Copies of this chain bind each other. A is one copy, B any other.
Amino acid sequence: MESMWHYENFEPTGSAIGWRVTRKLDEVQTPFQKIEIFETTDWGNLMLIDGAVMLTTRDNFLYHEMMSHPALFTHADPKRVVIIGGGDCGTLREVLKHPGVEKAVQCDIDEQVTRMAEKWFPELCDSNGDPRAELLFDDGVAYMANCEPGSVDVVIVDSTDPVGPAEGLFNKAFYESCFLALKDDGVLVQQSESPLALLELIRSMRTEMGKAGFTTFKTLPFPQPCYPTGWWSCTLARKGGGFDFREQAAREAALDTKYYSGDVHRGALATPPFVQQALNAS
Interface residues of A (CB under 8 A from B): 5, 7, 9, 13-20, 40-43, 58-59, 61, 196-197, 221, 223-225, 229-231, 257-261, 263-264, 266-274
Contacts and interface: CB of A to CB of B under 8 A. Distances in A.
Kindly report how many copies of this chain are found in the complex they form together: 2
A40 B40 CA distance: 29
Nearest to A221: B223
A133 to B, nearest CB: 25
Given A15-B17, A16-B7, A19-B15, A259 B230 contact: no
A258 B41 CA distance: 36
Contacts of A15: 17-20, 42-43, 225
A269 to B, nearest CB: 8
A5 B13 contact: no
Contacts of A61: 274
Nearest to A56: B15
Contacts of A14: 19-20, 40-43
Most buried by B among A18, A221, A258, A260: A18
Contacts of A197: 42, 225
A272 B261 CA distance: 7
A221 B267 CA distance: 11
15 contacts: A5-B7, A5-B9, A7-B7, A7-B18, A15-B19, A15-B225, A16-B19, A58-B196, A196-B225, A224-B230, A225-B229, A229-B230, A260-B272, A263-B269, A263-B270
A14 to B, nearest CB: 3
Nearest to A13: B42
